Amino acid sequence: MQPTHWLWLSLAASLWLAAGALAAEPAPPRYNTVEFQVDVQREVQNDLLNASLYVELNDASAAALANAINKSVNEALRVAKEYKGVRVRSGNNQTYPVYAKGNQLQGWRGRAEIRIESKDFGAASALIGKLQAMMQLGNISFSVAPETRRAMEEELIVEAIGAFKARAEIVKTAFAGRSYKVQRLNVASGHNLPQPRFAVARSAMSSAQEVTAPSFEAGVSQLTVTANGAIEVVEK
């Protein structure tokens, strides 16, 4: 082997040993370290409605059943296209056999649903009322729309970091310190969806078999941003 090769190998080994020695050295101790957490919260009006409607039928013929269900769903989707402020999509669709005593096939039962989503409660209410003439209302829920939540969380993050700094100043003063260093800081967000306060008007059938549109009170959600971490108080 060439002498220069030995020189490079020796140098590399020395650097590796030096790095290992540095890594083996324990981290310097930290004093006056305090960990704490702050939370900031805000109630936000729910501005997004989600609902599902379904049709459930029975028939002795699986083919006739599928045809009837598909006809109902297709008509509902056609009607929904008239409401531009409402997003509509197909939901679950299933068919299963119905057995009589003796495990004899009696017929078939099928169920299909559509799901709607909208920030326009008026349009959604009108559509639901119209669809209830041909379908059953499954459920309604309210939440904060993703874009609304993101904008609100960005504001709360600034507030949470400000609250963390304010708490750090209190801790520094309590320790009679000169200043403080932030060792680590974690920011996390979450939301709590209380039981929404909504009222659904009774489905009143008129002579034209039209259903009274439901009225809603969507309620609020509580958004929370948490800032937790640790600071080291620097003594005077």
10-residue stretch averages of pLDDT, the chain, 236 residues long? 48 51 58 91 94 94 93 94 92 90 89 95 93 92 93 96 97 93 93 52 44 78 95 90
Q: Which of 70, 207, 213 is nearest to 137 (CA)?
A: 213
- CA–chain centroid gap for 131, Å, is 27
Q: What are the domain boundaries of the chain?
A: 28-47+144-236, 49-141
CATH architecture entry for 28-47+144-236: 2-Layer Sandwich (3.30)
How deeply is 112 buried, as exposed, middle or buried, from its count of CB atoms within 10 A (0-12, 13-18, 19+)? buried
Residue type (1 letter), 2: Q
Q: How far apart are CA 156 and CA 171, in angstroms?
A: 22
CB atoms within 10 A of CB 91: 16
Query: Which pLDDT score is estimated for 36?
Result: 95
C-alpha separations of 133 from 118, 126, 139, 159 in Å: 20, 12, 16, 49
How deeply is 54 buried, as exposed, middle or buried, from its count of CB atoms within 10 A (0-12, 13-18, 19+)? buried
Query: Which pLDDT score is estimated for 26?
Result: 62
Q: How far apart are CA 162 and CA 138, in angstroms?
A: 44
Query: Which pLDDT score is estimated for 208?
Result: 44
Give the angle subtended at the CA of 212 by the CAs of 211 and 213, to the nearest 5°.
Answer: 110
With both helix axes pointing from N to C terminus, report the angle between 121-131 and 62-80 in degrees, rounded to the nearest 10.
150
Question: Quick one: fold of 49-141?
Answer: Alpha-Beta Plaits (3.30.70)
The structure tokens 């304010």 sit at: 166
Query: Which pLDDT score is estimated for 30?
Result: 63
Q: How far apart are CA 203 and CA 174, in angstroms?
A: 63
Query: Which pLDDT score is estimated for 25?
Result: 59
Query: Which pLDDT score is estimated for 216?
Result: 75
